[in-house]
Amino acid sequence: MSRVYNFSAGPAVLPEEVLKEAADEMLDYRGTGMSVMEMSHRSKAFAGIIQEAEADLRELMHIPDNYKVLFLQGGASQQFAMIPMNLMKNRVADYIVTGQWAKKAYQEAQKYGKVNKIASSEDKTFSYIPDCSDLPVSPDADYVYICENNTIYGTKFKTLPNTKGKTLVADVSSCFLSEPVDVTKYGLIYGGVQKNIGPAGVVIAIIREDLITDDVLPGTPTMLKYKTHADAGSLYNTPPAYGIYICGKVFKWLKVQGGLEAMKERNEKKAALLYDFLDQSSLFKGTVRKEDRSLMNVPFVTGDEKLDAKFVEEAKKAGLENLKGHRTVGGMRASIYNAMPYEGVQALVDFMAQFEKENL
Ligand code: PMP
């Protein structure tokens, strides 16, 4: 067996321990005589899996009792519609547009009401996070929306926007569980798990109870009401059972690692190794304003498209995979999620130094 260092932005690297455990349990999950993929979502064994997953996530994130944890489907993209359908009581919402995913959410919300773009960093290809300390938040806004970590551009909100009392909704797909968060600052935190937590197909939404109501926009499908899933403990219909099982294993892995404080420390060390290299390199350079740099997604360029392509190709040969930047921006991007070991980033930096010597 040979595993590569996988820098994919998502689906992405998972902890090897988790994959091995899942492999060991594949044919016979703890004496049930079947795989988790084969068991009823109403079975006792699966009830244990989903309840334990929720309890561990609550512990990791210190989720207060007045928040529900929902395991949903449809990808993070489905939330772009589900959020306005459920939360837009006044049919007004404010969006901060810091990248393609925020922009998509902003565009989708326009189907449902008056949507204001109260800040944006599109003027400089989303290479920074705008100052959000005193934005023109709409007095009747139902919520203020952010994408907290911008996967494609590699920026991250280091301070949350001042929402002037309005409910904050955040897409944390690419920074989920990468560092501690104060859940009480948000009305809704959600993300697809396929970057930092598990296999594609599961979306986790952490939502304050007062936001879960029957008072949704007319025509909202049953499956797209948070209340449907909250009332049924995420078992209204067949959930993405195997994905939830793997998420649960990753939560346990995170607890063994020392929780989110320890992850933050590790992630900062990994990111610093790469950013410090970029800052002194004569060939490679980072594309993001320093103070807004993401700990998870690190984009960089050589300034020469041909050389970028050569780098990606040679890196792959050296066992460093998926370093090509997003198809809309080009260049390179190293995604260094929780499960990417320090050694992986070290191997990347060593390779970059060698490449620089040979190509400068
Ligand atoms: N939000 C962010 C921040 C993302 O990075 C992505 C996917 N890469 C999405 C939303 C869309 O996720 P999905 O493919 O699960 O719909």
pLDDT tens profile 257-272: 999 999 999 999 999 9
Q: Is 10 in the pocket of ligand 1 (CB under 6 A)?
A: yes
Segment 145-171 shows an average pLDDT of 98
Segment 296-308 shows an average pLDDT of 97
Q: How does strand 297-301 pair with strand 285-286?
A: antiparallel
How much distance in Å is there from the Cα of 107 to the middle of ligand 1? 15
Segment 279-295 shows an average pLDDT of 97
Nearest of 158, 156, 201 to residue 296 by alpha carbon: 156
Sign of the alpha-carbon torsion through 270, 271, 273, 278 = positive
Provide the angle, in degrees to the nearest 10, between the axes of the packed helices 75-87 and 100-109.
40
> Please, how many CA atoms are within 13 Å of residue 238, restricted to the half-sphere of its CB?
6
Q: Is 196 in the pocket of ligand 1 (CB under 6 A)?
A: no
pLDDT band at 9 (very low <50, low <70, confident <90, very high): very high
Q: Is 174 in the pocket of ligand 1 (CB under 6 A)?
A: yes
Residue 329: per-residue pLDDT:
85
The residues that are catalytic are: 101, 171, 195
CATH topology of domain 16-256: Aspartate Aminotransferase; domain 2 (3.40.640)
**What DSSP string runs through 101-143?**
HHHHHHHHHTTTSEEEEEEE-GGGTT-S----SS----TT-S-
Segment 190-207 shows an average pLDDT of 98
Nearest of 116, 111, 105, 158 to residue 139 by alpha carbon: 116
Residue 328: per-residue pLDDT:
81
Residue nearest to atom 14 of ligand 1 (CA): 75
How much distance in Å is there from the Cα of 24 to the middle of ligand 1? 30
Question: What is the predicted ipTM?
Answer: 0.99
Q: Cis omega (within 30 of 0) on the bond before 130?
A: no
Q: What global pTM score does this model have?
A: 0.98
Contact yes or no for 188/208 (Cβ under 8 A)? yes
Total H helices, total E strands in the chain: 9, 14
pLDDT tens profile 91-139: 999 999 999 999 999 999 999 999 999 999 999 999 999 999 999 999 9
Q: Binding site for pyridoxal 5'-phosphate: which residues?
A: 76-77, 101, 151, 171, 194, 237-238
Contact yes or no for 192/184 (Cβ under 8 A)? no
Backbone angles phi, psi at 33, to 5 degrees: 75, 15
pLDDT band at 360 (very low <50, low <70, confident <90, very high): confident
How much distance in Å is there from the Cα of 360 to the middle of ligand 1? 36
pLDDT tens profile 210-244: 999 999 999 999 999 999 999 999 999 999 999 99
What element of type H or E holds 204? strand 203-208
Q: In what order do the strands lie in the sheet with 203-208?
A: 67-72, 203-208, 188-192, 168-171, 144-147, 92-97, 114-120
Q: Is 128 in the pocket of ligand 1 (CB under 6 A)?
A: no
CATH topology of domain 259-359: Aspartate Aminotransferase, domain 1 (3.90.1150)
Residue 242: per-residue pLDDT:
98
Residue 120: per-residue pLDDT:
98
Test site for ligand 1: of 101, 104, 203, 297, most ligand atoms within 8 A of the Cβ: 101
| Residue 307: exposure state from Cβ atoms within 10 A (0-12, 13-18, ≥19) | middle
How much distance in Å is there from the Cα of 96 to the middle of ligand 1? 16
| Residue 112: exposure state from Cβ atoms within 10 A (0-12, 13-18, ≥19) | middle
pLDDT tens profile 165-198: 999 999 999 999 999 999 999 999 999 999 999 9
pLDDT band at 327 (very low <50, low <70, confident <90, very high): confident
- Residues of the chain above pLDDT 90, percent: 98
Contact yes or no for 64/180 (Cβ under 8 A)? no
Residue nearest to atom 9 of ligand 1 (CA): 76
Q: Is 286 in the pocket of ligand 1 (CB under 6 A)?
A: no
Domain boundaries along the sequence of the chain: 16-256, 259-359
